[in-house]
Chain A
């Protein structure tokens, strides 16, 4: 499948040859060449498809080339990655089914095709690390460990959902898993992520709470459209200024609903905007979980060491429309098939088998297990109750005295029925 027919090629020079030898590459790979959206103009080593270590940035030495012969992952890691991506895919497919069956409502934005980014980054995180996402957040929540049943129940609007049915598809939060949302307006989560990273630095420097792993890391996921938003730039500035432990991950799937990235952006190479603020900017093939993981490792380690933020642009693609309401008529079939051929799950499966990390049967059994998990999630969500009326005002205020004092002199929250809606100010 020639890259030349891909839309981006009309805009940029022809693709570079696939890189060789550098870490993470798989010798027998028959992946189609990554899109033409690689950095092309000046081939500075720091901006090739290698994660940027601080050494490289300082220009002190060339980035070490990892031994290409051994696989980039162990068997356990590979299976974990595989399982996580299959979970993401199956879950989203089930969402589509449930939506069309009338069990799920409103705006639902599915992540099919982008799994390598979520899995590649989030599986490297620990529990105290934070994830902030956008409305396309189901899979980020799942990768971070939120149980599938909690996410499904939330999507069904049930009281057992992770947000008690009060958030919905676009507002996945989980305090135990440090998933800080779930935001409907693009860009809105980036300052929140910056704040979580600030809190991590504050805990370390002011509260003197340190972990042997280093600083807790925050990852902000958002799309190409968001990379034109003011909050993005403001936070790049502040994160670098204060060397916050945050990674800005742009899931560049080339489309913001019907707006092509190229039509919306004066300089479409988003990774370049990192160095403009003094931080490393890296472009990575977001359809390849192992490459994403390699970049993620470097960025996370930098952040943990206190070296500050990294901007990662992951080239990826959503196989479905922007949301389940999107007829998806603007994207060309050849573009879609180009990326379908680079399905991250298929590629990882191929890699695992070729590297003899596991057998076909083992992978099948993982897929079966995931099917069961997703089925169970649906059953759980179906069987769960809708929120009762008494839940209506319960969480408006952390301190319900905020509803104020009524004419009778009592706080409105002293009325046992106030959460049903008697607390009118």
Chain B
């Protein structure tokens, strides 16, 4: 089923990346504790969806019911459901209330929940993020929206020093169950400052979890899981993915924050990606499959921590890795991921792990330059051909 997004390059041949049999989940507020059984990293309490089976056909047919949503609607559903379930969940950000959110994620929410629970803030990212931290310390579960992720650079002080650290420096006395979310990534000629990838800047902050959503399904699931998590979680959305369409389950579900998602199983080479680059990868995969290659595509989803189990199993199978990311080359998620793979799976590798990243350049405004900034499908095809030689 193709995404209806007019604004996307890649026609997203989005795999139905979820298990055929989705367990009926109870709508309890807190995620059940991780099961301690050996091996099964998957069955972590009744609320967590079993790990994605890979094949797109399977899930689509067995799914009776479900409803189609665009990505921003999926996020909105997540917010509504969690705010209904738990009155301590609130939203803080610019234009989230009356305006409904600049990407419509909170459309109608302030009418539903009141303008204290959906708080329109003045333009003061550092302070309202810090306010979210203080509120979290005192028992609320705020969801702080950065209108554009780049604006949260102004909140770096609070995100690094307070979100990440206070649970630790207080000796575990205060928890910070805050969610920080917003759109980032390179858009459509938005200019350098609106085209930033903060995941690389935040990844070193201890005490912070980071996830990147890429489909309406995982967007809703990850946002819900992030809200329910006791940890501070940064949820990276992408400016160009808000109109992605997909059918998602009617029943309550969450996605595990720490797990990666199998998009397309394969045997020849592992492609690790996240967010919008997933679609560039899948477009390249169409070409590659026609040329006779069999890549395995994993959407890592959890940018911090990495799901080394899913990634490792794949590397052990294919022995070749390509990372495709939108971060800049220097110090990006790919750089860390490459290190982690080398550290953990060196013996499994038949080729050096390759990483395709954006150019180290402030994203130019001009269209051809902007296109050249991010990784495009032909580059991915060429890289796979290189790795598999």
Contacts and interface: CB of A to CB of B under 8 A. Distances in A.
Residue from B34, B119, B207, B305 having most chain A Cβ neighbours under 10 A = B305
Contacts of A190: 127, 130
Contact of A181 (B87, B166, B207, B229): B166
Interface string B34-46: 1010111100100
A325 interface: no
B372 interface: no
A408 interface: yes
B95 interface: no
A410 interface: yes
B134 A404 contact: no
A194 interface: yes
B305 A425 contact: yes
Interface in A380-418: 394-399, 401-414
A335 B44 CA distance: 65
Interface string A187-216: 010111111111111110111000000000
What is the interface residue range for chain A against chain B? Answer: 35 or more
Given A190-B130, A194-B134, A409-B39, A164 B305 contact: no
Interface string B88-119: 10100000000000000000000000101101
Interface stretch (B168-176, B192-200, B271-279, B360-368): B168-176
Chain A CB count within 10 A is highest, among B34, B170, B176, for B170
Contacts of B340: 425
A199 B140 contact: yes
Nearest to B40: A409
A401 B304 CA distance: 11
A288 to B, nearest CB: 30
A163 interface: yes
Interface string B110-144: 00001011010110101111111111111110100
Interface stretch (A15-23, A109-117, A172-180): A172-180
A199 to B, nearest CB: 4
A40 B88 CA distance: 46
Given A238-B127, A402-B305, A191 B133 contact: yes
Contacts of B34: 401, 411, 413-414
Nearest to A412: B305
Given A164-B172, A398-B231, A237 B122 contact: yes
Contacts of A147: none
Contacts of B171: 161-167, 173, 395
A336 B162 CA distance: 35
Interface stretch (B5-13, B235-243, B282-290, B306-314): B306-314
A234 B135 contact: no
Contacts of A165: 171
Contact of B134 (A191, A397, A408): A191
B344 interface: yes
Nearest to B206: A396
B307 to A, nearest CB: 5
B28 to A, nearest CB: 15
A130 B312 CA distance: 47
A206 B127 contact: no
Interface in A331-367: none
B308 A404 contact: yes
B230 interface: yes
A175 B167 contact: no
B135 A174 contact: no
Given A196-B134, A411-B258, A398 B175 contact: yes
A95 interface: no
A163 B173 CA distance: 8
B258 A202 contact: no
Given A397-B207, A425-B304, A192 B134 contact: yes
A196 B306 CA distance: 33
A231 B105 CA distance: 27
B231 A411 contact: no
A166 B174 CA distance: 13
A230 interface: yes
B2 to A, nearest CB: 32
A399 B30 CA distance: 12
A236 to B, nearest CB: 10
A188 B162 contact: yes
B63 interface: no
B161 A188 contact: yes
A182 interface: yes
A364 B7 CA distance: 78
Contacts of A161: 171
A405 B171 CA distance: 24
B140 A188 contact: no
B244 to A, nearest CB: 26
B209 interface: yes
Contacts of B126: 191, 230-231, 234
A164 B171 CA distance: 5
Contact of B169 (A166, A398, A405): A166
A175 B170 contact: yes
Interface in A272-321: none
A151 interface: no
Contacts of A185: 157, 161
The 6 closest A-B pairs by CB, nearest first: A195-B134, A191-B130, A404-B305, A164-B171, A173-B170, A163-B171
10 contacts: A161-B171, A163-B173, A173-B166, A180-B137, A183-B162, A191-B129, A191-B134, A238-B128, A402-B229, A406-B309
Given A195-B135, A397-B230, 18 more contacts: A167-B171, A175-B174, A183-B162, A192-B131, A194-B131, A195-B131, A197-B134, A234-B126, A238-B122, A238-B131, A397-B167, A398-B167, A398-B177, A402-B229, A405-B41, A405-B308, A410-B38, A411-B34
Interface of A: 130, 132, 161-168, 171, 173-175, 180-185, 188, 190-203, 205-207, 230-231, 234-235, 237-238, 241-242, 394-399, 401-414, 425
